[in-house]
Structure 1
Amino acid sequence: MLPMVVDTFAADKVPGVFRRPEEDAISTPPPAPELRFGVNYTPRRGWFHAWHDFDPREAREDLAQIAGLGLDHVRVFHLWPLLQPNRTLIRTTAVDQLCRLVDIAAECGLHVVVDGVQGHLSSFDFYPEWTRSWHHRNVFTDPEAIEAQGALLRTLGRALTGRPNLIGLQLGNELNNLVEHNPVTAAEVDHYLDTLLAAARDGLGEGGGLVTHSAYDAAWYGDNHPFTPEASARKGDVTTVHPWVFSADCARRYGPRSPQVRHLAEYGTELAKAYATDPARPVWVQETGAPEPHIPAADAPGFARVTLLNAADCTGLWGVTWWCSHDVDRSLADFPELEYTLGLFDSTGRPKPIAHALAETVAELRAEPSRSVPVRDTALVLDCTPATRSVSGPGGAFFETWMRLRTEGARPAVVPADRAEDMEYLAARGIKELVSAG
């Protein structure tokens, strides 16, 4: 095993590397609200390519705009090839940039969650060259590739520890998007996640923040997908869901104003609870948005409002993080069309109608600090195998039954068939009546 050529532990030797010197003041944002609302930060100038020439002034402008909406946190992403261009090299300059961004967010009154291994962002994959072409390594199964990712997460955790606005460290964005080029089994995924979650936790230290991971909707709806619902709902500190309206053609199948679309984030939250072994485990709607043409621009403000209100009707919701802060500038080529329209702000920094709707809805929900969400005492029983998981996705029989019940005025929870006779479990969730999806 080659030594890791990084300044991972240089903070003790070089002031300002990774950690601020103790004499520097660190801004402390307001205390975290009980129910959190934030946005995934996409730099308006240069998209994530902005990391190549990071400009703190421009980042501050973006983050101040986000804070101005009354949001409390951002999720931020650096690029894996820039952080770790060689398997045994982690660039101190790139880590410093990330830490600086977190500090700027604090100065703007925002908390931050950091995603570590990018990985996949908005239809582009970012691999360091040491994983590609002549040096190809399966990022999920190659022991040295896993070891290198673990080293990166430890480095980031140690660099970020102690910042009062840090929410936590996530392994990376929707890592299951990399499966197509990195074949992997469910058992291998479990090993990969366990190893990297342990590395992130080691980096942050005890009490240093949340440790999480994320997957796109195939983990929940995809038959035999190697990233499983169980992994999402049982590994890490919080279950993250990304209920996108384009998944399984939901918006096109049912229509942009349909109950199926407007209750999708709520449904994703309840579905996630079914796979958790801990009835009290929180669920975080970590990505949801209003992509055109799936959601026409005229419908986006209304969609944002009802999505937040419906998700907030779920007990155990950690919060909602909208995708995304700023539109991709159309001067950048080759993005799918929907990626140019997802921002709360346009690429010049002007707030769009959806930004105002989101801000007003967040303010409305926060105006009820003691707001109590009734427990869902009726549950729909989910009976599926890994090979029939698609029944719970848009177009599936279970999904359509749940949506019908919701449309009729019920507020159904979801219970897996193997827990349907577990009285202790049902009581812990407050469930008094079970409904069959058959």
Structure 2
Amino acid sequence: MVVDTFVVDKSQALTESRAGPEEDPIRTLRFGVNYTPRHGWFHSWHDFDPARARADLDQIAGLGLDHVRVFHLWPLLQPNRAVVRTAAVDQLAHLVDLAGEAGLDILVDGVQGHLSSFDFYPEWTRGWHHRNVFTDPEAVDAQATLLRTLGRALAGRPHLIGLQLGNELNNLVEHNPVTADEVDHYLDTLLAAARDGLGEGGGLVTHSAYDAAWYGDDHPFTPEASARKGDLTTVHPWVFSGDCARRYGPRSPQVLHLAEYGTELAKAYATDPARPVWVQETGAPEPHIPAADAPDFARATVRNAADCPGLWGMTWWCSHDVDRSLADFPELEYTLGLFDSSGRPKPIAAALAETVAELRQGPHRAPPRETALVLDCAPGTRSVSGPGGAFFEAWMRMRTAGVRPAVVLAAAAGDARHLAARGIKEVVRPS
């Protein structure tokens, strides 16, 4: 693939244009934050303090954000395969209610699973009792029971956005080998359980994966699963994936447009042209993004992603820095908060709040992206679409030249109805 030369084909896209593009509706974008408790990080669930949680949530609401994403710990919720602890579920429901009282909507992640480089497995999946969490039928059934229970406990709250299966469950693949077909079965089973718990109309049912799902050759969590299962597509475009910030520089177009690119890449894999995309995690980790550059990074990241038709919203990672009294976290985890570990807002918090306020001044409509770059890859060559890959660099060259490129899969590049539904009038092929 040569990134300097492109072949443009307008005829296919313009054929049957009477079908008309699926215009992005006038909407209010959602802006929120992933909630990391200031006191004790997620270990705080061992001695949950509602007053401290409410203080954290009030700080978040004070930035003008409208929602939080929250996480309990799987071993505390389900310490035995046959037991979901009522007291732990009640804690989570209490946190959901506190968020509502602070004026925040809330998405609950169910199976954690994985958080900030640490894996949290119940003992019944480990050691002498080891079970593959993706393929063992009884382990999958237990997770379905947990999600069904959480859904029923949370259903009916007007400020509940919905229930997500868990945080980046594909981080568990290294210790739980699984095939793509087995992942599909796993996701289908758990999504059905979450929907059963919430009930129809009870909120969104979603799942999430870290960037290997989009960039990793032969990774068993596939782009198709992310873009076609659940009620919307979630993306976690991190600047350390593929060494993006180190490869191109923290102020580079490749970094400042990464969340925008991730949104457009995700839209390419969807079969429904109107399927929304949620930038559910992005942040400014040091040293990948130096603290002095973080405010401008936040402004550019949010504005660029907001220019994508079909964006549901953005959720920053994260609310509060990890306190350095806690040992063994990767260095970047101590710097990701909008607030430091003493509760003081950092310059990035002001930058994010100002940018959100600007974007909320009126209803938002992102114009259609009329030019699409064709992605032709197989599961084993998915890395062409990640940082350093030829497709990634081709898209970024177009973007820095002033084009607002969409992405279309090669299999759909000749589908006039698909192109028209997305408002695409020309396709550009790297050659």
Asked if residue 262 in structure 1 is aligned to residue 256 in structure 2, the reply is: yes
Give the 3-state SS of the residue equivalent to 1:320 in structure 2.
Answer: strand
For residues 11-37 of structure 1, the C-alpha deviation after alignment (integer angstroms, 9 at most, x for no partner) is xxxxxxxxxxxxxxxxxxxxxx72100
The Cα of 1:385 is off from its aligned counterpart by 0.2
Poorly superposed stretches of 4+, deviation over 6 Å: none
Q: 1 CA distance for matches of 2:366 and 2:37?
A: 35
How do 1:41-60 residues align onto structure 2 when only pairs under 5 Å count? 41-60=35-54
Look up the match of 1:431. Answer: 424
Which fold has the larger relative contact order, with Cα–Cα distance below 8 Å and residues 6 or more apart in sequence? 2
1:401 aligns with 2:401: no
- 1:372 paired to 2:365: yes
The aligned residue for residue 411 of structure 1 is 404
Identify the residue that residue 382 of structure 1 maps to in structure 2: 375
Query: What CA distance in whole angstroms lies between the structure 1 residues aligned with 2:430 and 2:126?
Result: 46
Calculate the aligned-residue CA RMSD, in Å. Answer: 0.5
Partner of 1:67: 61
One-letter code aligned to 2:221: F
- Provide, for residues 223-243 of structure 1, a one-character-per-residue CA deviation record: whole Å limited to 9, x for no partner: 000000000000000100000
2:106 equivalent in structure 1? 112
Q: Give the distance between the partners of 1:133 and 1:215, measured in 2 at CA.
A: 26
Q: Give the equivalent residue in structure 2 for 1:143.
A: 137
Q: Is it true that 1:176 corresponds to 2:170 in the alignment?
A: yes
Any idea what SS the aligned residue of 1:167 has? strand
Aligned positions of 1:294-333 closer than 5 A: 294-333=288-327
| Alpha-carbon shift at residue 372 of structure 1 (Å) | 2.2
Cα distance, 1:368 vs structure 2: 1.9
Corresponding residue SS for 1:245 = coil
- Out of 310, 314, 330, the position equivalent to 1:336 is 330
- SS state of the match for residue 90, structure 1? coil
The answer on 1:231 being equivalent to 2:251 is no
One-letter amino acid matched to 1:366: R
Partner of 2:89: 95
Report the 3-state secondary structure (helix = DSSP H, G, I; strand = E; otherwise coil) of the residue aligned with 1:37.
strand
Shift of 1:318: 0.3
| CA–CA distance in structure 2, aligned partners of residues 85 and 301 of structure 1 | 41
SS of 1:171 mapped into structure 2: strand
The residue identity in structure 2 corresponding to 1:391 is V
CA-to-partner distance for each residue in 1:267-293, whole Å, 9 max, x for gaps?
000000000000000000000000000
User: 5+ residue gaps in structure 2?
Assistant: 1-26
Q: 2-side partners of 1:200 and 1:374: how far apart? A: 34
Q: Residue in 2 aligned with 1:356?
A: 350
d(CA) in 2 for partners of 1:326, 1:110: 17
339, 343, 357: which is aligned to 1:345? 339
Which of 258, 264, 279 is equivalent to 2:273? 279
- Measure how far apart 1:379 and its partner are: 0.2
In structure 1, which of residues 189, 196, 207 is the aligned counterpart of residue 190 of structure 2?
196
How far does the alpha carbon of each residue in 1:202-258 deviate from its partner, in whole angstroms, 9 at most, with x for none?
000010000000000000000000000000000000100000000000000000000
Normalising by structure 2, report the TM-score.
0.94
Q: TM-score, normalised to structure 1's length? A: 0.92
Q: How much does 1:373 deviate?
A: 1.2
What is the SS of the residue equivalent to 1:434? Answer: strand
